A and B are shown apart, each in its own frame.
Chain A
C-alpha cells in the first residue's frame, strides 16, 4: 500500500502518520543527539584523502568504467573449512569473493536543478496486513516501525545539521509499507525509483520482499541498503546495487553451531522453526553446519506463524531424545514454544534466533527464559558514547527504547545520508562511495565492515537470558572454538581441506 512522501523539513515539526498510526511527533530541536554516526562532517568517519581519490576516480563520462580497486575476499563469509559445502572437492567456481562492478553510464547523469528536497526511500512492514509471504499473518510491524523510527531520526538529525549541505536542501523520506504480499515491495520500489525519484532506499525485513525489492533496484539502478533482513541469500545475488548493515543468519548460525557442537559437544540437536522464509533460510547454516561437522540435526519441525498450540511438533521432538533445541521464528512463537516445552517436561537447553532476544520474549517466557541463548547481530550493551547518545535521543523522540531494528535502521540511513553528502545527487556515485568506502562505517551498532558482496561482516554476539534480562557475550568471552578458516579461496587451494 502506498503511503506518502514526507519531507522532513529542517527546524519544523514532523508528524509521521501512517495508516492512523502516529509514529512520532516532535520538533527537530527535541531530537538533538550528542553523538552522530557517520556524519559527513565527522572527519574521523573515514579518511578524507581516500574519499577525495575515490570521488576523482568516479568522476567519469557515460562510457567509462572507473578504475576502482575491487575488494577481493579470501574466504566467503569467514566460513571455517569444515562447514564449507562439499569441502572435500575443489569447486569449479566460487562466487562472492570479488566485488561486483557497476559498468553502466549512470555516473555521468548530472544533478538535477529543480529540487526542493533530497528524497530517500524507506520501505518496511509498518502497517498490519494479511501476509502470504510470512505465513498468513502479518507480524513484523513492530520491527518495521522501530526501523522507521531509527531511519527517521537519522534524517531529522541530518536536517538539523543543514540537510544536503552542498545545496542547503532538506532531506525528505518517501515512506512505503511493505505489506507482505509477494510482489508489493517491487511495485513500491518502482514508484520510488521512477516517480518519486529517490536517491537511495532503506529496507526491508522480510526475506521474500527484500529479494523482490533488490531485483527492481538493480534494473532501476538505485542503491538499496538493508538493515533488517538477516536472510543470508539476500546478498548472494551478485547485484552491485545492494548492501547490508546488519550481521546475517549465516554468521549467527555459524556461531551457534560452534557453540553447540564444538564447545558443548552435543550430538542430538533438534530444530523447531517458523514455516516461512525467515525460518526456512534462517536455520540453513545450522542444518548444513551440523551435518558437515558430523552431527546432523535429529529432527526439524515447522509451525504456522501465529499459532498457539505447538504440541504436534513438540511431541515428535520430545520423542527424539534431544540434548538441545534450536528455535527460529518470532519472539511470541519462540516464548510460547519454550513454555509448552517446559510444561511437557522438556528441559533441554533452548537456543534462539535474534528476533527472540527481546523484552517481549522475556515477558511471555517468564522464568522459563532463564538460560536461553540466542545469536545477536551486535552488542547493544557496548560502552560507546555514540550509542548512549543515540539511545537517549531516540527515547526522548519516540518514548520507546531503541531496539536492534531501530539501531540498524539508524545506521543504515546514516550510511546512505553520508553517501549522498559525499557523492552528490547521482545514484551511481552514491552506490560507489558505499561500495568502495575505504574504512568501515562507524555506527551505533559498532563497526560495519563490508565484504566483497557488501554484506556486514561485523562481529556477532551471544545473548543469554540471565535474571530477567539478556546479557551479551562475544566468542572470546565464552572461549567458543572455531574451525580453521583458510586464508585462501577454495578454487586455488592446493588441496581440499580435510577433517
Chain B
C-alpha cells in the first residue's frame, strides 16, 4: 500500500453574474493548499451566448471543480471506474486501485506488487453492509478488498465465467460480474456461483458490458443484446432490444433502446438509463426516449457509461465531454468540456439541441475523453483518460429553477460565485 499527500488543485471556480457578460472565476494557477479553497480573481467570463424569453428556468451548473492526476498521488491517470463510498472515493485505473480520503484529502493506492491481483481495475462497487470493495478486473477476474486483503476469483478457481470483467454490482448478498462471456453471480454467504449466458438468459450475444442492481432488479447492458432485466424475486428475465433490429439505422428514436451495442445501465427511481456507442436511452417502464448528439445535449453518441441520479437526471461519460441531462421533462442539458490549449472550460446549457446559455470557465473535467461518472450526493466524480474530476455541488438543486432564484457555483462570499438571471 502506498500513500502520498494530496496536492489538490482547484482548477475551475466559475461564477455567473446577474447580468449577461460578467462573472468571476478563479485562475487555474490558484491552487488549493492544505485543503483550503483559494479565492479567485475575475479573469474569465461566464457568459451566456444565447437567451430566449422561453427559457426562464435553468438547471444547476457545476462551476467548482477539482482535478486529480498522478501528480496528486493517483497510480495512473487512465481512470476506468469511480465509486464514492461515504468519506472515501475508490478509483479504478489502468494500473492500480486508488482510494481518496475526502477528509484528509490523501490518496492511497495499490498495484500488483501490493497485492492487487491484476493491474487494470475496470469496475468497482461497495457492499453497503460489510464495506467490502468489489473490483472488476479487466482481464484479471473479480477481487474483494476487505480488511487490507485482496481475495481473488477467476475463471479457473471459481464460477466466474470469464476473467474479462467490465462491470460489477452488489445486490443484497450477491455480487454480479458482467464479463465478456456472460454474467456471473456470487453469493457471498453461501459461496454459490450462478452463470448466465445464452443457455439460461435471453442473451442474443453474451458480451456483457455493464451491470447495476436496484429496487429488486438487476440490469445488464450487453454488447449486441441490448439491456436485460432480471427480476430478483421471480428469477425471470426480460430483454430490451432495438425494435428495428438493424445495426446501421435507428428507425424511430423513441420506439425502444436506440441500439443493441449497450455499454452501461443505471436504474434509479424506477427509471432505466442506458448508454451505447450510438446514443443513449431512457425508459420509465412505459415510454422510451432516445438521445443523439444531433438532437440533444449529449456531447457524443459514443457513451462509455451512464449514471442516473433520478428519474429526471442522468450523466453520460462520452468521448467528447461529460453530458448531463438535468431535467428530463424540459430536455434540458448541461455539457462540460475543457479546452486545455486555452486553459478554459465550457458549460453549455441546452434545451434539446438549442443552446440557451454558454459559460466559459476555468477547466472543469480533466480530459474530454470521459470513461466513468458517479454521483455522490450533490457532488459528481468523473473518471477520464487523463485524471479524476470532482464537481462540487454547493447549492445543487434538481430540475430547474426560475432564473432569478438560481444560484450557481460557490457562495458569493468566496468571490467565486454569483447569481445570474436569464430573462
A interface residues, Cβ below 8 angstroms from B: 61-65, 76-77, 85-86, 89, 91-96, 100-101, 103-105, 181-183, 186-187, 190-191, 194, 208, 211-212, 215-216, 219, 233, 236-239, 490
Cβ-neighbour of B386 out of A62, A65, A100, A212 (below 8 A)? A62
The docked-state distance in angstroms from the alpha carbon of A62 to that of B259 is: 31
List residues 252-271 of chain B with CB under 8 A from any CB of chain A.
252-253, 258-259, 261
The docked-state distance in angstroms from the alpha carbon of A272 to that of B200 is: 27
| B138: interface (CB < 8 Å) | yes
Whether A194 lies near B120 (C-beta < 8 A) is: yes
Residue on B with the closest CB to A193? B139
List residues 282-298 of chain B with CB under 8 A from any CB of chain A.
290, 292, 294
| B250: interface (CB < 8 Å) | yes
What is the count of residue pairs linking A and B with beta-carbon distances less than 8 angstroms?
A: 134
| B322: interface (CB < 8 Å) | no
| B413: interface (CB < 8 Å) | no
B319 to chain A minimum Cβ distance, whole angstroms, is: 5
Whether A191 lies near B139 (C-beta < 8 A) is: yes
The docked-state distance in angstroms from the alpha carbon of A7 to that of B290 is: 50
Cβ-neighbour of A85 out of B249, B277, B279, B320 (below 8 A)? B249
| Chain A proximity mask over B203-218: 1 for CB below 8 Å, otherwise 0 | 0011101000000000
Residue on B with the closest CB to A95? B248
B contact patch SS: loop
| B224: interface (CB < 8 Å) | yes
| B181: interface (CB < 8 Å) | yes
A261 to chain B minimum Cβ distance, whole angstroms, is: 21
Whether A183 lies near B164 (C-beta < 8 A) is: yes
Whether B181 lies near A183 (C-beta < 8 A) is: yes
| B163: interface (CB < 8 Å) | yes
Residues of chain B within 8 A (CB-CB) of A85 are 244, 246, 248-249, 251
| B340: interface (CB < 8 Å) | yes
The docked-state distance in angstroms from the alpha carbon of A272 to that of B341 is: 58
Cβ-neighbour of A91 out of B207, B251, B338 (below 8 A)? B251
Whether A101 lies near B319 (C-beta < 8 A) is: yes
The docked-state distance in angstroms from the alpha carbon of A85 to that of B259 is: 15
The docked-state distance in angstroms from the alpha carbon of A96 to that of B250 is: 12
Residues of chain A within 8 A (CB-CB) of B302 are 100, 238
Whether A93 lies near B279 (C-beta < 8 A) is: yes
| B67: interface (CB < 8 Å) | no
Residue on B with the closest CB to A233? B247
| B179: interface (CB < 8 Å) | yes
B111 to chain A minimum Cβ distance, whole angstroms, is: 13
Residue on A with the closest CB to B302? A238
The docked-state distance in angstroms from the alpha carbon of A76 to that of B122 is: 34
Given known contacts A63-B386, A103-B319, A105-B385, is B164 in contact with A190 (CB within 8 Å)? yes
Cβ-neighbour of B249 out of A94, A103, A182 (below 8 A)? A94
Whether A96 lies near B248 (C-beta < 8 A) is: yes
Residues of chain A within 8 A (CB-CB) of B185 are none
